[in-house]
């Protein structure tokens, strides 16, 4: 179906968008911090996406896209970097509102150290695979910034939120990589990934998603603090 990828984007976004106005959530009140965060986070990911598509690290099945492109990317792929972060940050917000978690800088350090060590090891072992290297170098950099440079106190909530997001992640990424459709919507060059897949999903995609959401959250909290200082409340 020609609009498969577009429909995946649409259904990823529509329910979080509608529930943004729920009086117990009031997620729409954070939009002045949220939308700049999504925009600025999308810039590096779209740039690398254009480059990797050019190198044929991955590509897109013309049967499942509308046929409209910006640079060499389908518009659906660009929309992905806006729809997915919106849905994920909405989930993060819901967890914060409905299930408060006491967070400190220290209580995330063990998990962060585990991911940092793992990222270093995987980058070394698979240093020839471009997607693998990009994914884990990015995770290494972002975790160092969050845990040790910015010393944020919300990483524990991020880890728990991302754990909850793995179920919808497997549904969305499964559809994109070929679990369900006759052919994958997005294909990967096997020479540029480590190899292991969960069903049809390259294992790198799990951590690529972490990169995307972590960068969004860094911007999101940064813009929230700016607006609070300016006297514009972005927190319901």
pLDDT at residue number 86: 98
pLDDT at residue number 135: 98
Cβ pair 101, 35 in contact under 8 A = no
Give the β-pairing of 58-60 and 201-202.
Answer: unpaired
% of the chain beyond a pLDDT of 70: 95
Q: How far is CA 21 from CA 15, 28, 100, in A?
A: 11, 6, 20
Mean pLDDT in residue range 141-149: 97
Q: Which tokens sit at 188? A: 């990967």
**Lowest-confidence segment of 22-26, 115-119, 132-136, 229-233 by average pLDDT:** 229-233
pLDDT at residue number 150: 95
pLDDT at residue number 104: 65
Q: Which tokens sit at 93? A: 């917000």
**Three-class SS of residue 218?**
helix
pLDDT at residue number 99: 78
Cα dihedral 214→224→19→77 (10° resolution): -40
Angle at 156 between CA 8 and CA 193, to 5 degrees: 50
Report which of 230, 221, 93 is spatially closest to residue 157, judged by C-alpha positions.
93
Cβ pair 82, 100 in contact under 8 A = no
Predicted structure pTM score: 0.94
């Amino acid at each position: 179906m020609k609009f498969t990828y577009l429909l995946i984007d649409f259904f990823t976004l529509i329910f979080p968008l509608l529930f943004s106005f729920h009086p117990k959530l009031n997620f729409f009140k954070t939009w002045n911090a949220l939308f700049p965060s999504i925009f600025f986070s999308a810039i590096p990911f779209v740039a690398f996406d254009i480059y990797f598509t050019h190198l044929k690290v991955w590509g897109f099945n013309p049967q499942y896209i509308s046929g409209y492109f910006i640079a060499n990317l389908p518009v659906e792929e660009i929309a992905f970097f806006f729809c997915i972060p919106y849905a994920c940050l909405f989930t993060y917000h819901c967890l914060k509102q409905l299930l408060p978690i006491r967070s400190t800088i220290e209580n995330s350090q063990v998990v962060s150290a585990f991911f940092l060590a793992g990222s270093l090891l995987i980058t070394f072992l698979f240093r020839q695979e471009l997607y693998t290297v990009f994914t884990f170098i990015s995770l290494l950099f972002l975790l160092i910034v969050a845990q040790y440079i910015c010393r944020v106190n919300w990483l524990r909530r991020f880890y728990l939120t991302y754990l909850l997001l793995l179920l919808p992640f497997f549904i969305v990424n499964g559809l994109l990589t070929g679990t369900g459709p006759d052919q994958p919507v997005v294909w990967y060059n096997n020479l540029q990934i480590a190899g292991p897949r969960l069903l049809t999903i390259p294992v790198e995609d799990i951590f690529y998603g972490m990169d995307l959401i972590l960068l969004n959250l860094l911007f999101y909290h940064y813009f929230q603090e700016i607006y609070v200082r300016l006297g514009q409340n972005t927190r319901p």
